[in-house]
Amino acid sequence: MRLIGHLANESTARTFGDYLFVQGIQNRIEHQPEDGWGIWVNEEDQLESAARLLADFQANPADPKYQAQAKNAASLRAEQEKGEEAWRKRLRDRRHLFRPLAGYGFGPLTLVLIVISVAVFFLSSFGRDLDRVMNLFITTYWEHGQFIQWNAILPEIRHGQLWRLLTPIFIHYDILHIFFNMLWLRDLGSMIEGRQSTWHLGIMVVVIAVCSNLAEFYIGHTPAFGGMSGVVYGLFGYIWLRGKFDPASGLFLHPTTVVMMIVWFFICLTGYLRAANIIHAVGLGMGLAWGYLSSLRHR
pLDDT 10s per residue in the chain (299 long)?
Answer: 789 999 989 989 999 988 998 888 889 999 888 889 999 998 888 899 999 999 999 999 889 888 888 778 877 777 777 766 655 565 444 444 444 444 446 789 999 999 999 999 999 999 999 999 999 999 999 988 778 999 989 999 999 999 999 999 999 999 999 999 999 999 999 999 988 899 999 999 999 999 999 999 999 999 999 999 999 999 999 999 999 998 888 888 888 889 999 998 888 887 666 677 899 999 999 999 999 999 887 66
Domain 2-91 classification at class level: alpha beta
Give me the residue spans of the domains in the chain. 2-91, 101-296
Domains 2-91 and 101-296 share a fold: no
pLDDT at residue 42, as a whole number: 86
Q: Which CATH superfamily is domain 101-296 in?
A: Rhomboid-like (1.20.1540.10)
pLDDT at residue 272, as a whole number: 67
Residue-by-residue DSSP string for the chain: -EEEEEESSHHHHHHHHHHHHHTT--EEEEEETTTEEEEEES-GGGHHHHHHHHHHHHH-TT-HHHHHHHTTHHHHHHHHHHHHHHHHHH---HHHHHGGGGGGT--HHHHHHHHHHHHHHHHTTTTT-GGGGGGGSSS-EEEETTEEEE-TT-HHHHTT-GGGGTGGGG--SSHHHHHHHHHHHHHHHHHHHHHT-HHHHHHHHHHHHHHHHHHHHHHH--S----SHHHHHHHHHHHHHHHHH-GGG-----HHHHHHHHHHHHHHHTTSS---HHHHHHHHHHHHHHHHHHHHTT-
- The model's pTM: 0.67
